Amino acid sequence: MRHERKLVGRVERRRLEGGAVVRLEYPPFHVLVALVDETPCAIEDACNHAGASLSEGKREGGLVACPMHGYMFELATGQLVSPAGLCPNQRPFVARVVGEEVVVWEDDPPAVILGP
């Protein structure tokens, strides 16, 4: 059985140039979209620690800082870089360049493991 990814939204690629980030409305999560070394990335926008919008935070290369407490997350993976271990990683989404747009989908659902 093939799983169809759910479309989150589209962003014109030019809106992401120069280190810009864009917040896609996708209730209840919303999604931060960015380019890192010309590669599109998308992670859940609401910080897992206190719910602040990461798209309002400061971008530092391939990282974004939560505007509330300064927690640093990798844009490419959603991984919490610092302070390590204080909250879960951000949920990543699938992002691809399609023509002049970055298209974002929900990631594949987790695999179900049956028995030992």
Quickly state the pLDDT bin for 113 (edges 50, 70, 90).
very low
- The most confident of the ranges 7-11, 49-53, 86-90, 108-112 is 7-11
Separation between Cα atoms, residue 81 and residue 59, nearest integer Å: 13
Per-residue model confidence (pLDDT) at position 115: 42
Using CA atoms, how far apart are residues 82 and 99, in angstroms rounded to an integer?
35
User: Domain residues for 26?
Assistant: 7-105
Q: How many domains does the chain divide into?
A: 1
> Is the pLDDT confidence value at 3 over 70?
no
* Residue 33 within a domain: yes
- pLDDT band, residue 2 (cuts 50/70/90): low
Q: Are 108 and 10 in contact (CB under 8 A)?
A: no
Q: Which residue has the tokens 């204080």?
A: 86
Identify whether 49 is part of a domain.
yes
Does a structural domain hold residue 110?
Answer: no
Q: Which helix (H) or strand (E) holds 4?
A: none
Statement: the pTM of the whole predicted model exceeds 0.85: yes
Is pLDDT of 7 > 90? Answer: yes
User: Rounded CA gap, 109 and 20, in Å?
Assistant: 29
50 belongs to a structural domain: yes
* CATH number, position 93: 2.102.10.10
Using CA atoms, how far apart are residues 10 and 33, in angstroms rounded to an integer?
Answer: 9
Measured distance CA(69)–CA(89) in Å, rounded: 15
